[in-house]
Structure 1
Amino acid sequence: MKIRLLVSILAFAQIVFAQTDKLSKVSGTKCSLVAPSGFVAATSFSGFQNIKNGASIVINELPTPYQSLVEGFTAEALKSKGMILVKKETIDFNGAKATLINLTQSANGTTYLKQMLVFGDTKNTVIVNGIYPEASKEIGAKIKEALLSTVYSNSQTDKPLEASTFGIDVKDTDFKLLKNMSGSFLYSTDGKFPSEKPTLIVGNSIAKIASQNQKKYSEERLKKLPGGELSVIKEIKEISVDNLKGYEIVADGKTKDDKPVLVYQVMLFNDKGDYYIIVGQAKDEFQKNLAAFQKITQTFKRM
């Protein structure tokens, strides 16, 4: 899902870009772009997808300074997340500096190519991520053209739930919805992300999974969370929510400075190879926060 540093919404100083007939607004964001031929608006994330060749363009907006985020995209950091850095360059983009990054990544036996356009300011950043199978590398030029067509508008409504096919109910809790990133909804109790306070992420799979052992897959997915390699599973059990079956995991995690953290993960699977995931983390009041995570999980519902 990310490389520890999370990406964020762009806030160019009151700059508003004009819409054109070719630009398509991206639901849940303040961005528009010219989608390549054959791409349609996605229903499970903010962006566009080409069902035929398995390609997608995903837009992420989150409150993280541009410079610190870009500096986090090192070959070593990316390798730790299963990605290989091919090229990273600074470009001029809409009157400011931006970064273009080319990556490769393997998943479920397929090698994917990624082109990422990263731009923003001292408070916020936007990542426009073009992803396509290596077997369809001929569309790479069109993907890059689409990324570079991206415009940002302060006047555009960016209601995160507009692009959603699922949701949770956090009323009567302290959690606040922040943003939609790659189809995942980010919540925290202090309105910040990353946050030292309890956080909650609710998302779904973009690609199909072939795993027949859902319990094992859930355990492996936990280890892929930021810092997940340090997590020790305390309990794993079957769970059923919204007529979907899956697994609930409660684990003891560690922060980078070796402090304990509660890690809560629920994965719910359908019969089409898709899954939904809920991840909660808290650094104190473990029992209270675990109860809150479990209560919110039971409100999960597909739209």
Structure 2
Amino acid sequence: MPELARFYTRTDWINGTDEMKFFCSFLSIILLTSPGFSPAQETPQQSTLVAGTRVSLTPPAEFTLSAQFPGYQQESTGASIMVTEIPGPFAEVSAGFSVPAELAKKGMTLQTKEEITVDGRTALLLQIWQVAAGKEFLKWILAFGNANETVMVMATFPKQHESDRSEKLRTSLLTVTWDSEKSVSPTEGLSFTLSEKGEMKLAKRMANMLIYTKGGIMPTEGEDVPLFIIGQSISKVNVEDPESLAKLSLLQNDSVADIEIEQPVKVLIDSLSGYEIIAKGMSAKSKQPTVIYQMMLFEDQNYYIMLGMVGSEKREAYLQVFREMAGSFRR
């Protein structure tokens, strides 16, 4: 796995509930990045709603709409702007933003922090420095929200482009508006589809991943309840050993401890090859045995990853449901 993996969209330093942290951790795992981006779409010339979100912004003129994540990118510099709507109160989610020691644990250094007003809302604007794969990067992060949700808009760029990118990206973030009451299709702008199976219903979208829960209820109720998530890589990834990457991605699931892989199986779904892996472990939250189902499919320098989790006592009932959901994947 490249060292730049998870850098551009790393969110595992966010505070909040265990469930919220799991979603953010999974988002970090699925969005493995490399310096190259995938083909993009035409650049809007004014404030435009970012597909699949309720956020609008005006990107720098040289940026194009991303085809793989909610936001914009500039292929020539490796810079990006990504929008994420997080299911959790702004006060809780943003608490970790003020603690340099927490950021330092993830290899980040807080350079500046401002409390500003954006779209009539109190917001935090942070600048963060980090080294990844021997290269220096900077991030502008705009965060705001309400008692139920948090919006995070993250602009990332190599430090070598600071003089010509930093202020333009900061200015772009200040154009952000959020229509929290707007109704948006959770699948808008995604390049894949997945069918609901059994009691597993679509509950929420977060960045470019879809979250399914029992009855579509979120937050989930009770311990060790079934959860299924699907996401797509954010950009081009050079995968020399797909099976090893699939195993490593599963082992990076920090919501489950003592993970033991039972059986990796090579599969073919929608003409894409990949690996189905079943594993067991101990839930970090409930301390109860947990079964994990992972499907990872590869397409050129892109991949899709699906993850199902449930308490071990419900293994037989839900493993089949997870398999059926993964088997319904289509592009």
TM over 0.5: yes
Give the equivalent residue in structure 2 for 1:294: 323
Structure 1 position 98, deviation (Å): 1.7
Q: What is the distance in 2 between the residues matched to 1:108 and 1:179?
A: 33
Q: What is the distance in 1 between the residues matched to 2:179 and 2:258?
A: 41
Structure 1 position 26, deviation (Å): 0.9
Aligned alpha-carbon RMSD (Å)? 2.5
SS at match of 2:95: helix
The count of residues paired between Structure 1 and Structure 2 equals: 286
Give the equivalent residue in structure 1 for 2:153: 128
Ranges in structure 1 where 5+ consecutive residues have no aligned partner: 8-20
Give the equivalent residue in structure 2 for 1:209: 237
Give the equivalent residue in structure 2 for 1:263: 292
Structure 1 position 183, deviation (Å): 1.2
Give the equivalent residue in structure 2 for 1:160: 186
Q: What is the distance in 2 between the residues matched to 1:71 and 1:5?
A: 17
Give the equivalent residue in structure 2 for 1:40: 64
After superposition, what is the alpha-carbon deviation per residue over 1:120-143, rounded to whole angstroms, capped at 9, x for unaligned? 111111111112233433312211
Give the equivalent residue in structure 2 for 1:58: 82
Q: What is the distance in 2 between the residues matched to 1:107 and 1:275?
A: 22
Which among 174, 193, 205 is matched to residue 148 of structure 1?
A: 174
SS at match of 1:167: coil
Cα separation, partners in 2 of 1:150 and 1:224, compared to 1, 3 Å = same
What letter is aligned with 2:277? I
* Worse-matched range after superposition: 176-185 or 26-35: 176-185
Which among 120, 123, 131 is matched to residue 95 of structure 1?
A: 120
After superposition, what is the alpha-carbon deviation per residue over 1:61-98, rounded to whole angstroms, capped at 9, x for unaligned? 13211111112445555455x44132463412233322
Q: What is the distance in 2 between the residues matched to 1:167 and 1:251?
A: 25
The percentage of aligned residue pairs carrying the same residue is: 28
Is 1:31 aligned with 2:50? no
* Worse-matched range after superposition: 33-42 or 100-109: 100-109
After superposition, what is the alpha-carbon deviation per residue over 1:209-253, rounded to whole angstroms, capped at 9, x for unaligned? 223011111111112233356422122121111111111111113
Give the equivalent residue in structure 2 for 1:13: none
Q: What is the distance in 2 between the residues matched to 1:216 and 1:92?
A: 44
What letter is aligned with 2:81? I
Q: What is the distance in 2 between the residues matched to 1:108 and 1:65?
A: 33
Q: What is the distance in 1 between the residues matched to 2:205 and 2:154?
A: 14
Ranges in structure 2 where 5+ consecutive residues have no aligned partner: 1-9, 13-20, 25-44
SS at match of 2:188: helix
SS at match of 1:301: coil
SS at match of 1:127: strand
Q: Is the 8 A contact 1:236 1:248 kept in 2?
A: yes
Q: Is the 8 A contact 2:227 2:308 kept in 1?
A: yes
